[in-house]
Structure 1
Amino acid sequence: MIFGSERQQHKILRKNHQMEEGSSHEITSPLLSNKEEELEDEKNEEDVVEIDENENSPIKQVALTVPTTDDPSLPVLTFRMWVLGTLSCVLLSFLNQFFWYRTEPLTITAISAQIAVVPLGQLMAAKITTRTFFRGTRWEFTLNPGPFNVKEHVLITIFANSGAGTVYAIHVVTAVKVFYQKHISFFVSLLVIFTTQVLGFGWAGIFRRYLVEPAAMWWPANLVQVSLFRALHEKEKRTKGSLTRSQFFVVAFLCSFAYYVFPGYLFQMLTSLSWICWIFPHNVLAQQLGSGLYGLGIGAVGLDWSAISSYLGSPLASPWFATANVAAGFVFVMYVLTPLCYWLNVYDAKTFPIFSDDLFKSNGQIYNITEIIDSNFHLDYAAYERQGKLHLSTFFAMTYGVGFAALTATIVHVGLFHGREIWEQSKSSFKEKTMDIHTKLMSRYKQVPEWWFVCILIATIAITIFTCEYYNDQLQLPWWGVLLACGIAIFFTLPIGIITAITNQTPGLNIITEYIIGYIYPGYPVANMCFKVYGYISMTQAITFLQDFKLGHYMKIPPRTMFMAQVVGTFIAGFVYLGTAWWLMETIPDICKDTSSVWTCPSDTVFYDASVIWGLIGPRRIFGDLGTYSKVNWFFLGGAIAPFLVYVAAKAFPQQEWIRLINMPVLIGATGMMPPATTVNYTSWIIAGFFSGFVVYRYRPEWWQRHNYVLSGALDAGLAFMGVLLYLCLGLEDVSINWWGNDLDGCPLAHCPTKKGFAVEGCPIFT
């Protein structure tokens, strides 16, 4: 530890940072004027953190991207932070829910707000009065504490993150109101949304020490935002023939903005170029193989960033080993397992499409769900026997199987590869432990007491139990279901958090939560959906909060300030999301049901299908002794064995380091987003991830270091702004261009069955 002025600290940290970066240009802070720098020299001496090169993050991507500097004097809780943060949260919540019901949902990420608030923040800093109110009292404050700074910017982005992620409980409201056409009140819906969102705070607080403080938990997605913050706030001297990061961002943003007018409006087929279908326009088999949206997508490619990043996130933010695992899992499921089961006619597969999320009768017709629901919103067993057993497409059945396998693989993988690390972290959690530079710098700030999280957790569980019991006629879930869901969530948060923090891929809990409550409490679809959101989304919210905590950790935001922004942003986002969804459901005729409109709700349709499979009919009548797909349960065993094989291979061949990079939960669960994701979403994502994470990272590391994450942010932002502009200018007036280039896939026969002599409307009969 050394002593010196704040100005000395700034110089020491900056010099160290330049040495680490190895850059030929000088980085200076545009956040402080010369006058302010002179005033800093006059500050009293205080402790500063000395940086040792060995203390930097052991993760190369983090060491290359995240600054090892901190200026604790920068104001964070400012008037403009509250104004811009709240505005960002409200706008993103409204726009994301608004676009969520569309056939091609547009997700506007927090990066859009991250960019848009910079000129607004600078304008407020220039124009708002600098007068100090109540000077000399304990209530002294000013609306304008100086230049718009990076820490304010980070906190505004945390607010925006609350509105950037979907509120999963909206699916429950949509399914009940639109698909089942039953009653659920706005107040009850609001309680469900708030409790599901806030439960995650409890798990996040408990697991901070495991998932935020350790340097090995590096959260790759955060590096995109860190790079963007640096591009927007650090001044660089441009070397001849190159661009600064800020200039590169502007160029990439404008290109993305201009280009999206083609896949977004003029030439929509760019979303899925399924060229095999063009060659064989009347061949069902060729279209099943070649369709990027309704088939196996062989050769199909998407030249649309929204198709590439909509479900798996930015491929530029995924480390190559994780991308490779996803690619291997996708190839196995899509090009080995699914075709094998289909062409061997497993479970009479040829009676149904090879790729579909619809629910079928044994004769290949769409199942009429309303006929098997009684007046008490419960399964009518007699009606179900009359209609016959429910059937799934080959791919839909296989996705549930790999979901079973991914669950057990997650538990076994974390136990084998991270068990000792978790145990050591548990033993050292109350002792002084080795810290990297980021944890060392953050230790200067007051931490959020763990009892805050515990109090929130207990209060939220109590409110949830009261809501489910008092409004049981609408929610159907008993009190013990709430406690069981919470138990599942807390059990899986740590292993799934570790996988997300390392690979940027999050295995879901939705299948296991549906499976458990479906067996225990069958015939109640709303109870099943509520159990799923309390067991699955509280864990997912915890992962989101932990990721935000890590972003604050990298950018040196005081933890208590971060906590407050997350809480406020969560409540604002929940209210706006529900209000927007409720308005759309009340005003758009046949929303989610009219397949000729743009409001087809693909994700809500899959959610509704799952509530029928797991809740209304129940897993016993689908995957149990009374169902058709009982053998799919063997996937549980396969998933448990797979990580053990990798572990044994890694021990047997320690010199082969690539073996330890095989992550079975990610590999097996690669297709977890399908459906509603399609093959073209995956193939395009994998191609982009290969070029970024392998080719550029290996052969042009300097370019990758400076521009990779900035490019990702620019592509997101350009797409979002053009998407909103197209909708406001053309979509609201329903102005469209009808030509072959706007036929999204061009594979009309891909949904046809191939059973001989089987007739389906619009399909040829196989002979």
Structure 2
Amino acid sequence: MWWPTNLVQVSLFSALHEKEKRPKGGMSRNKFFVLVLASGFAYYVLPGYLFTMLTSISWVCWLDPKSVLVQQLGSGMKGLGIGSIGLDWSTISAYLASPLASPWFATANVAVGYCLFMYVLIPIGYWFNFYKAKNFPIYSQDLFMANGEKYDILSIVDSHFHLDRDAYAKNGSIHLCFLFAVTYGIGFATLSATLVHVILFNGSDLWRQTRSAFSDDKKIDIHTKLMKVYDAVPMWWFWVILVVNIAAIIFACQYYNESLQLPWWGVLLACGIAVTFTLPIGIIYATTNQQPGLNIITEYVIGYIYPERPVANMCFKVYGYISMSQALSFLADFKLGHYMKIPPRAMFMAQVVGTVLAVLVYTVTAWWLMADIPNLCDTNLLPSDSPWTCPMDRVFFDASVIWGLVGPRRIFGDLGEYGKVNWFFLGGAIAPLLVWLAHKLFPGQKWIKHIHMPVLLGSTAMMPPASAVNFNSWIFLGFISGFIVFRFRPELWKRYNYILSGGLDAGTSFMTVLLFLALGSKNIGLEWWGNKGEGCPLASCPTARGVKVDGCPVVN
């Protein structure tokens, strides 16, 4: 059996920094990048405007247009996505980043985790009706009442954006579709698996590196020696930015407490969580290109400590999770700059200026869209084929309701019906221990160490808003690039892999902006069957007896 244990690990550094040695008549990297960019730019006209069905070709649904079961199985957007594929780079890289940038063993772990989750766990839970699963769609990011109707969130919010307990008691508990509930359980397992995995597999290296960092005879590699010609970034620059930002956040939370809801101690606690988890999650990210998130644990912590305050929950998640994620991005930039011999101070200023510009651009863009797009993100008022449904933002909103407004105690605690999901914490802690024991018992089986439980368990962390077609397409392309190309033409993979990924990203992004400015902002659409979605309208229908939903058949 072939397993990629002896493959040459190629980094972005080698793709950009090493002197190019191409065969006679071969294409330079710059030329290849321009060609890929132009091709990606031209091609995206099809899935982005002319033939949007290419984003999710769910051909299984076409076999029986009147069958809910067939469409649940075949829909790549609202079902299990069997056979569904997307011929669109934005579908492939939207939630999971580029499959070309992940090592093959990580792609294999994602594939195994996704298949176990989507084709074993979810079907068993749904068709055995765990947590009244059949009352709700098989895949949905919405919140429901027990009878299958969507929950009216505004009806349980008081004038201060706190939970109206009387209204909540009258309406009844919030229910999740089985997939959404289990996704949170998988998030619990991923967190505990990350900590245990790092301790077992990286603990000795961490201890050795820590001792070396504080010793006088620490080893210095060639890159560090070459970088000594540049002035280092003074540590006080970092401290100033840290202190000023924390002070500004605390001031904002105190001064606008009625709106933001988060007290000063919540800011400090969020920063503490970010600092604590940056190292273990950074190790996973550095070795697999997959980053476990802190979103669930931050929501869980503040939801128990400071419940019934949705805005406070969102702020805490941003300060605890997003700050850690951004820290890892900055570290990756510095590491690349270290390899590329970019002066550290120049890299630091580029990061600071880029961050400020990004904040301004994001803010202006958000206000512009809210002013110009009617019913932005409101799926109850937007047409089904609208591009402005904001799936990521809707999940963010639903999470603020689950963890902030209602609180984890009423969902996953003693007052809720999803309490058993907490057992995933224990399962996640045990899983890497079993892999570690197997590796110790069978040291000759080199493939065992490539079973990476944080990646395997966390493979579906972005679902929802990611759907089956995103994973199918990502895994398919990842296996093609990681197995066929890498197996038979490794020199081409080394030379062009990252360039191909970057060119596709750039070309797709430029055409996306152009299509919006030229057509989307003026509501110029193209009406024909190829732009009517994937053709699986019944995939979101419940299958419990007597549950009535508009547009769905009623099971008697």
User: What is the TM-score of this pair, normalised by structure 1?
Assistant: 0.69
- Partners of 2:58 and 2:180 in 1: how far apart? 21
Task: Indicate the SS of the match to 2:143.
Answer: coil
Q: What are the within-5 Å matches in structure 2 for residues 287-686 of structure 1?
A: 287-430=71-214, 431-593=216-378, 594-596=381-383, 597-686=386-475
Number of the residue aligned with 2:536: 747
Q: 1:385 Cα shift?
A: 0.4
Q: 1:731 Cα shift?
A: 1.9
* Structure 2 residue corresponding to 1:731, chosen from 501, 508, 520: 520
The reply to whether residue 709 of structure 1 matches residue 498 of structure 2 is yes
Q: 1:571 Cα shift?
A: 1.5
- Partners of 2:514 and 2:313 in 1: how far apart? 39
Q: 1:309 Cα shift?
A: 0.8
Number of the residue aligned with 2:478: 689
Instruction: For 1:604, give the aligned amino acid.
Output: D
- Partners of 1:586 and 1:261 in 2: how far apart? 26
Q: 1:238 Cα shift?
A: 6.2
Q: Unaligned regions of 5+ residues in structure 2, if any?
A: 1-5
- Partners of 1:731 and 1:374 in 2: how far apart? 37
Instruction: For 2:140, give the aligned amino acid.
Output: S
Change (3 A) 1:747 1:711: same
Does the CA contact (< 8 Å) of 1:756 and 1:765 recur in 2? Answer: yes
Number of the residue aligned with 1:128: none
Instruction: For 1:746, give the aligned amino acid.
Output: G
Change (3 A) 1:621 1:743: same
Number of the residue aligned with 1:207: none
Instruction: For 2:279, give the aligned amino acid.
Output: L
Q: 1:59 Cα shift?
A: 9.3
* Structure 1 residue corresponding to 2:35, chosen from 251, 255, 259: 251
Does the CA contact (< 8 Å) of 1:517 and 1:528 recur in 2? Answer: yes
Instruction: For 1:617, give the aligned amino acid.
Output: V
Does the CA contact (< 8 Å) of 2:309 and 2:404 recur in 1? Answer: yes
Task: Indicate the SS of the match to 2:538.
Answer: coil
Q: 1:416 Cα shift?
A: 0.8
Does the CA contact (< 8 Å) of 1:238 and 1:244 recur in 2? Answer: no
Instruction: For 1:702, give the aligned amino acid.
Output: E
Instruction: For 1:532, give the aligned amino acid.
Output: K
Task: Indicate the SS of the match to 2:161.
Answer: coil
Task: Indicate the SS of the match to 1:732.
Answer: helix
Q: 1:246 Cα shift?
A: 2.7
Instruction: For 1:372, give the aligned amino acid.
Output: I
Instruction: For 1:422, give the aligned amino acid.
Output: L
Q: 1:374 Cα shift?
A: 1.1
Does the CA contact (< 8 Å) of 2:310 and 2:400 recur in 1? Answer: yes
Q: What are the within-5 Å matches in structure 2 for residues 177-326 of structure 1?
A: 226-227=15-16, 239-240=24-25, 242-326=26-110
What fraction of aligned residue pairs are identical, expressed as a percent? Answer: 64
Does the CA contact (< 8 Å) of 1:294 and 1:750 recur in 2? Answer: yes
User: What is the TM-score of this pair, normalised by structure 2?
Assistant: 0.95
- Partners of 1:237 and 1:619 in 2: how far apart? 57
Does the CA contact (< 8 Å) of 1:292 and 1:301 recur in 2? Answer: yes
Deviations 1:19-74 (A, max 9, x none): xxxxxxxxxxxxxxxxxxxxxxxxxxxxxxxxxxxxxxx993347x635xxxxxxx
Change (3 A) 1:506 1:559: same
RMSD of aligned residue pairs (Cα, Å): 1.8
Does the CA contact (< 8 Å) of 2:138 and 2:540 recur in 1? Answer: yes
- Partners of 2:275 and 2:187 in 1: how far apart? 19
Q: 1:519 Cα shift?
A: 0.6
- Partners of 1:437 and 1:270 in 2: how far apart? 48
Number of the residue aligned with 1:60: 8
Does the CA contact (< 8 Å) of 2:13 and 2:336 recur in 1? Answer: no
- Partners of 1:428 and 1:648 in 2: how far apart? 28
Does the CA contact (< 8 Å) of 2:10 and 2:494 recur in 1? Answer: no
- Partners of 1:723 and 1:625 in 2: how far apart? 47
Does the CA contact (< 8 Å) of 2:257 and 2:263 recur in 1? Answer: yes
Number of the residue aligned with 1:20: none
Change (3 A) 1:61 1:237: closer
Q: 1:600 Cα shift?
A: 1.8
- Out of 584-593 and 636-645, give the one that drifted further: 584-593
Q: 1:239 Cα shift?
A: 1.4
Change (3 A) 1:420 1:450: farther
Q: 1:553 Cα shift?
A: 1.3
Q: For the pair shown, which has the larger CA radius of gyration, 1 or 2?
A: 1
Q: 1:737 Cα shift?
A: 1.8
- Partners of 1:426 and 1:270 in 2: how far apart? 50
Task: Indicate the SS of the match to 2:9.
Answer: helix
Q: 1:367 Cα shift?
A: 0.3
Task: Indicate the SS of the match to 1:755.
Answer: coil
Q: Tell me: higher relative CO, structure 1 or 2? Use CA pairs within 8 A at least 6 residues apart.
A: 2
Change (3 A) 1:619 1:237: closer
Count of residue pairs the alignment pairs up: 546
Instruction: For 2:9, give the aligned amino acid.
Output: Q
Does the CA contact (< 8 Å) of 1:329 and 1:671 recur in 2? Answer: yes
Q: Unaligned regions of 5+ residues in structure 1, if any?
A: 1-57, 68-225
Does the CA contact (< 8 Å) of 2:174 and 2:411 recur in 1? Answer: yes
Q: 1:235 Cα shift?
A: 7.6
Change (3 A) 1:352 1:550: same
Deviations 1:60-94 (A, max 9, x none): 3347x635xxxxxxxxxxxxxxxxxxxxxxxxxxx
Task: Indicate the SS of the match to 2:281.
Answer: helix
Q: 1:633 Cα shift?
A: 0.3
- Partners of 1:62 and 1:479 in 2: how far apart? 45
